[in-house]
Structure 1
Amino acid sequence: MINAKDYLETGFNFHGHRCPAMPLGMRSGAAAMNTLGVERSVDKELYLIVETADDHAAGCFVDGLMTITGCTYGKSNIEKTYYGKMAFTLIDTVKQKAVRAHLKPEFFANMLKSPFVEQRKIGVLPQNIPSEVSEPLINKILNLPEEDFLIISPVFDYHFEKKKGIFDTELCEECGERTFINRMQEVDGKKLCKSCAERIFKQ
């Protein structure tokens, strides 16, 4: 069984500040992993589809998901849909199984009324919020029963097609920078990286 508390300090060190949303992501990710019966992703055994966006409160949730699942942008086994929902799908790419999880609507609505969020609304940076405000909320998140905050679907079949890694590169004939071949584009007979190709098209 995956326990979020075992990864808590790693998560806060990675995330950069102490807040309730990051451990909430860890708890949610751990619950999804335990439902699927999987371990933390070493390579690409897991794939995570996160439905959050980039312009709303509690985005820190995703750093908790990444910490606990091992799904990272560096390994290319995470993507964001930008739906603006506190929800995600975790896929076991080996067994081709998945679960979808989301925060309970009433729980999340109440979370957005917390003293921590009230401080954020008036512009206080998360790292400057007093520990007497943040720590009780963090401890509450760490000890809440899963059924109080999370809805997880039954395990379902999920066809996941693994992509082969690209190892070959070429030099862009415009900027001279080495680029992986699957991202090269041909423009007027020249092989260009995407950024050079886009710049030429805009001219």
Structure 2
Amino acid sequence: MIDANDYLETGFIFHGHRCPAMPLGMRIGAAAMNALGVDRSKDKELYLIAETGNDHAAGCFVDGLMTITGCTYGKSNIEKTYYGKMAFTLIDTINQKAIRAYIKPEFFGNMLKSPFVEQRKIGVPPQDIDSEIAEPLINKILSIPEENFLVISPVFDYAFEKKKGVFDTGLCEECGERTFAHKLQDVNGKILCKPCAEK
């Protein structure tokens, strides 16, 4: 069984500040992994589709998901849909199974009324919010029963197509930078990287 508490301090170091949304992502990620019966991804055994965006409160949630699941942008086994939802699908790429989880609407709504979020709304950076505000919320996230905040689907089949890694490169004939071959483009007989091709 995966326990979010085992990764908590690593999560806060990686994330950069203490807030309630990051450990919430860790707890929901751990619950999804346990329901799916998988371990933390060492390479691409798991794939995560996050439904969050990049311009709203609680985006810290995704750092919690990355910390606990091992799905990272560096391994290319996570993507964002930018739906603006606090939800995700976790895929077991080996067994072709998946699970979808999301924060209960009423719990999410109440989170956005918390004193932490009120401070964020007036422009206080998260790292500058008093620990007397942040820590009780973090402790609450770590202690409340999952059924109070989490909706998790049954396990379902998911046809996941694994892609092979690209190891071949070439030089862009404009900027001279080495680029992975599948991203080079032929533009009027010149082999260019994407930025040079778009100029």
- Hey, what does 1:16 align to over in structure 2? 16
- Amino acid of the structure 2 residue aligned with 1:52: T
Output the CA distance in 2 between the equivalents of 1:161 and 1:86: 25
- Amino acid of the structure 2 residue aligned with 1:4: A
Output the CA distance in 2 between the equivalents of 1:35 and 1:172: 46
Structure-to-structure mapping, 1:181-192, within 5 angstroms? 181-192=181-192
- Hey, what does 1:56 align to over in structure 2? 56
User: What's the CA shift for 1:110?
Assistant: 0.3
Structure-to-structure mapping, 1:74-113, within 5 angstroms? 74-113=74-113
User: What's the CA shift for 1:111?
Assistant: 0.5
TM-score, structure 2 normalization: 1.00
Structure 1 segments unaligned to the other structure (5+ residues): none
- Hey, what does 2:180 align to over in structure 1? 180
Structure-to-structure mapping, 1:53-202, within 5 angstroms? 53-199=53-199
User: What's the CA shift for 1:84?
Assistant: 0.3
Output the CA distance in 2 between the equivalents of 1:99 and 1:54: 23
- Hey, what does 1:34 align to over in structure 2? 34
Cα displacement string for residues 53-97 of structure 1 (whole angstroms, at most 9, x for unaligned residues): 000000000000000000000000000000000000000000000
Q: Which runs of 4+ in 1 moved over 3 A?
A: none
Q: How many residues align?
A: 199
Root mean square deviation of aligned Cα: 0.3
User: What's the CA shift for 1:139?
Assistant: 0.3
Output the CA distance in 2 between the equivalents of 1:73 and 1:49: 11
- Amino acid of the structure 2 residue aligned with 1:130: D
SS in 2 for 1:164: coil
User: What's the CA shift for 1:141?
Assistant: 0.1
